[in-house]
């Protein structure tokens, strides 16, 4: 079964579809295995083949919320303590789950104010189903549940479950179909997807969870490694931490009992392997092991499962307990998310190696009683020693205990217009200029990691001068929004209230700005490093910021204009989401995105070789492509891309979609295959349409017959029209050319 009800947040066209080497169920408890070519079979496991201390089926959780006894070794308990003490939740990062998909409508993935769903603003911000080649990676039955369970341990949050990092975003990459079949090629494509899409969301993908693996032998080792290792190396070079389950066949009599060899890719040098420990802190007797391996609780771990697991009842709120290294892996993966968050909040700019080294340096050393091998259990509290993350909740009430005695309402004498300058370049200072010309300077000091600036009434302007470090700015123009404006700098959170006009100069470093619109009609103008969001009564201006995310979700008819850098840029367009990613001439990576705008226009005029990727909606879409402008429109939105050298359009989400390709060259080339039409200009620029129900082609205002062999999904409109119809066609296409900028 396949669910199609939500607009995807990210679409990536991939031709890497499986032809052989499927994934099969290997036993009744729905663990998965991959069959490799001929006799060279590598069993691809999620929960392993062993049954000893590994649940044969998901077991319903009791009212206590977990079947795993509480102990000093509980990593979930450690994470809960740190959440209460330091406010560490995983916010600001995205975790990719390569598995059987995620039941994104489960209550454990509810987004405050949004509910459940998939896409921007939800807990599961996007993904891809490589088994069915669509944008809905739902954890379908009858075989699905494993990915949802893993995702719950990573970031679930409900009255029954508290995952490790409950405010981290999730990406679901489905590499198993409804019956548990799949292929290594799907896993390869998922890894490549992470590399290509790592910066396409509001928060970057920092971590990958792979609770799957293959038991290699001499016959299949080169085959499996040859498929996956280059992508794993790519993610390692990207600085993305990839965690994989060690495997569960140590005590299995059907394989060599006592074999310690790790599954692949856990055995890869580009991956961090994780094994399971029991309630006493000893390695689980089913778990693979090696010297120096990281370990976390993996027995009887309770988490979310899809509705079909215990019988459909229409309410997606079921939980189950599972055992295996698959359950330990997401806990360690999410632990690094929390450590990274704490390091950033302390004013550091940690690399992946920094995060992993801190995790290892503060882990507790143990010796396996059976093999004598050394392994390490995670000690999160110790890993935070010496760091100074901001404490407690990010929310506070005016006048409440613990607020810093610095806010504009406390330092101004009236509520008329004021000019505030917040200088972060050398310490943290504030200068206030009043409407009468007088000024007052302040040195800001935080209390419990927070400072509050409140401009009270009037029309107030705030200028922020950023440091050479990394700052994170969030601004909201809607006074009724749950989103509070704030700035995080040097491990301190500065809450901003009552400012209508804000200018932020980044000053260098890996700065990030997230802007939210008003309920009126708003305008975004975004260039590489700079963005201005404005509307009635407000203006947000950010400069020298490498990553900007702008949301238009509060209402109104909003328009966005995006402009490229002087390097090579890639535009990605889909309903509700547009991003432009590039690298300027200095080598700096730049990213800008627009969510929820009714109209988006993107321009590639600054230089470089620029590419646009356009994707359809679940409704009926019309795509018009000319040499200089490409436009896709559907109910409620319209996006255009001008002057991009290469344009690719994909139709895969549903509806009856039509593509119209216009050429003003008589010597251009057309290439047609099943489901694909490509136009190539004399200067090498390309326009490609894939999967459309109908493709119409035009040269110099005249319809042209596409080459023989074209087999579209639906029959094309015949081109043998009368002379009168020819004139009508020419008039119509001439008007289209004018609209497209000719």
Q: Map residue 711 onto helix, strand or coil.
A: coil
Exactly one of 73, 146, 149, 203 is catalytic; name it: 146
Cis peptide preceding 173, ω within 30 of 0: no
**Model confidence pLDDT, tens digit, residues 15-27:** 222 222 332 222 2
Please list, residue by residue across 585-612, b when 16 or more beta carbons sit within 10 angstroms of its beta carbon and e when fewer do: eeeeebbbbbbbbbbbbbbbebebebbb
Phi, psi of 331, deg, nearest 5: -70, -40
Q: Is the pLDDT of residue 257 over 90?
A: no
Please list, residue by residue across 450-474, b when 16 or more beta carbons sit within 10 angstroms of its beta carbon and e when fewer do: bbbbbbbeebbbbbbbbbebbbbbb
| Other residues' Cβ atoms within 10 Å of the Cβ of residue 742 | 14
671 belongs to the catalytic site = no
**Model confidence pLDDT, tens digit, residues 499-533:** 999 999 998 878 889 999 999 999 999 998 899 99
**Model confidence pLDDT, tens digit, residues 443-482:** 777 666 778 888 876 678 999 999 988 888 999 999 888 8
Q: Which of 283-292, 443-452, 619-628, 681-690 is least confident?
A: 443-452
Exactly one of 33, 326, 593, 634 is catalytic; name it: 326
Q: Which residue has the higher pLDDT, 725 or 130?
A: 130
74 belongs to the catalytic site = no
According to the model, what pLDDT value does residue 84 have? 84
Q: How far apart are CA 498 and CA 107, in angstroms?
A: 34
Q: How far apart are CA 327 and CA 555, in angstroms?
A: 41
99 belongs to the catalytic site = yes
According to the model, what pLDDT value does residue 675 have? 85
According to the model, what pLDDT value does residue 654 have? 83
**Mean pLDDT taken over the chain:** 80
389, containing H or E segment? none
What is the mean predicted confidence (pLDDT) over 616-630? 88
What is the mean predicted confidence (pLDDT) over 610-616? 91
According to the model, what pLDDT value does residue 407 have? 38
Cα–Cα distances in Å, from 89 out to 164, 165, 333?
Answer: 8, 5, 14
Domains of the chain: 23-92+179-383 (3.40.50.200), 617-742 (no CATH)
**Model confidence pLDDT, tens digit, residues 102-139:** 999 999 999 987 899 999 889 999 999 999 999 999 99
According to the model, what pLDDT value does residue 445 have? 75
Cis peptide preceding 391, ω within 30 of 0: no
pLDDT band, very low/low/confident/very high, at 50 (cuts 50, 70, 90): very low
Cα–Cα distances in Å, from 349 out to 335, 371, 428, 509?
Answer: 17, 39, 19, 9
What is the mean predicted confidence (pLDDT) over 368-376? 90
339, containing H or E segment? helix 325-345
What is the mean predicted confidence (pLDDT) over 381-401? 54
Exactly one of 43, 47, 53, 99 is catalytic; name it: 99
Please answer whether residues 340 and 93 qualify as being in contact, where contact means their C-beta atoms are separated by less than 8 angstroms. Answer: yes
Q: Is 724 exposed, middle or buried (0-12, 13-18, 19+ CB in 10 A)?
A: exposed
């Amino acid at each position: 079964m396949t669910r199609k009800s939500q607009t995807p947040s990210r679409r990536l066209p991939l031709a890497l579809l499986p032809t052989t080497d499927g994934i099969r169920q290997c036993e009744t408890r729905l663990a998965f295995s991959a069959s490799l070519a001929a006799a060279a079979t590598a069993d691809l496991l999620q929960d392993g083949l062993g049954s000893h201390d590994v649940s044969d089926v998901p077991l319903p959780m009791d009212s206590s919320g977990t079947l795993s006894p509480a102990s000093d070794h509980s990593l979930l308990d450690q994470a809960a303590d740190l959440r209460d003490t330091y406010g560490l939740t995983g916010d600001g990062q995205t975790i990719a789950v390569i598995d059987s998909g995620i039941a994104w409508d489960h209550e454990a993935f509810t987004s405050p104010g949004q509910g459940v769903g998939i896409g921007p603003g939800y807990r599961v911000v996007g993904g891809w189903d490589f088994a069915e080649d669509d944008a809905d990676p739902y954890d379908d039955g009858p075989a699905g549940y494993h990915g949802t369970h893993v995702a719950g341990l990573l970031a679930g949050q409900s009255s029954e479950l508290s995952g490790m990092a409950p405010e981290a975003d999730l990406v679901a990459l489905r590499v198993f179909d409804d019956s548990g079949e799949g292929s290594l090629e799907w896993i390869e494509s998922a890894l490549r997807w992470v590399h290509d899409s790592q910066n396409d969301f509001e928060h970057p993908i920092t971590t990958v969870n792979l609770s799957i693996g293959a038991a290699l032998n001499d016959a299949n080792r080169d085959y499996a490694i040859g498929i996956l290792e280059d992508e794993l190396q790519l993610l390692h070079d990207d600085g993305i931490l990839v965690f994989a389950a060690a495997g569960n066949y140590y005590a299995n009599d059907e394989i060599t009992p006592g074999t310690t060899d790790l599954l692949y890719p856990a055995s890869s040098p580009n991956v961090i392997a994780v094994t399971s420990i029991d309630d006493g802190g000893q390695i689980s007797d089913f778990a693979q092991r090696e010297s120096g391996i990281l370990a976390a609780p993996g027995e009887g771990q309770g988490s979310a499962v899809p509705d079909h697991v215990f019988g459909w009842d229409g309410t997606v709120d079921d939980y189950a307990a599972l055992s295996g290294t698959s359950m330990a892996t997401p806990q360690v993966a999410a632990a690094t998310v929390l450590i990274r968050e704490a390091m950033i909040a302390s004013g550091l700019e940690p690399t992946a190696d920094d995060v992993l080294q801190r995790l290892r340096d503060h882990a507790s050393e143990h010796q396996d009683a059976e093999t004598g091998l050394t392994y390490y259990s995670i000690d999160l509290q110790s890993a935070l020693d010496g760091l100074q993350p901001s404490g407690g909740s990010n929310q506070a009430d005016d006048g409440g205990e613990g607020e810093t005695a610095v806010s504009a309402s406390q330092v101004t004498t009236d509520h008329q217009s004021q000019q505030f300058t917040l200088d972060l370049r050398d310490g943290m200072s504030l200068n206030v200029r009043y409407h009468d010309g007088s000024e007052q300077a302040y040195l800001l000091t935080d209390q419990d990691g927070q400072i509050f600036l409140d401009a009270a009434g009037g029309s107030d302007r705030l200028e922020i001068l950023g440091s050479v470090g990394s700052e994170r700015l969030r601004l909201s123009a809607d006074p009724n929004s749950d989103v509070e404006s704030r700035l995080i700098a040097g491990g301190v959170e500065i809450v901003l209230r009552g400012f209508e006009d804000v200018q932020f100069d980044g000053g260098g470093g890996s700065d990030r700005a997230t802007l939210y619109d008003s309920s009126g009609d708003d305008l975004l103008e975004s260039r590489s490093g700079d963005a201005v969001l404005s509307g009635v009564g407000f203006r947000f201006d950010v400069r020298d910021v490498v990553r900007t995310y702008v949301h238009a979700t509060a209402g109104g008819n909003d328009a966005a204009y995006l402009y490229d850098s002087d390097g090579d840029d890639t535009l990605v367009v889909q309903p509700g989401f547009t991003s432009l990613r590039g690298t300027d001439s200095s080598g700096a990576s730049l990213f800008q995105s627009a969510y929820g705008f009714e109209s988006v226009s993107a321009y590639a005029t600054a230089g470089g070789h620029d590419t646009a990727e356009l994707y359809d909606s679940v409704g009926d879409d019309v795509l018009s492509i000319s040499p200089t402008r490409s436009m896709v429109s559907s109910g409620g939105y319209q996006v255009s891309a001008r002057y991009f050298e290469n344009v690719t359009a994909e139709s895969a989400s549903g509806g009856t979609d039509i593509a119209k390709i216009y050429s003003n060259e008589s010597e251009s080339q057309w290439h047609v295959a099943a489901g694909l039409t490509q136009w190539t200009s004399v200067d090498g620029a390309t326009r490609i349409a894939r999967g459309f129900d109908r493709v119409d082609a035009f040269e110099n205002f005249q319809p042209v017959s596409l080459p023989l062999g074209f087999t579209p999904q639906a029959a094309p409109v015949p081109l043998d029209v009368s002379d009168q119809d020819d004139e009508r066609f020419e008039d119509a296409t001439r008007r289209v050319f004018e609209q497209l900028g000719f």
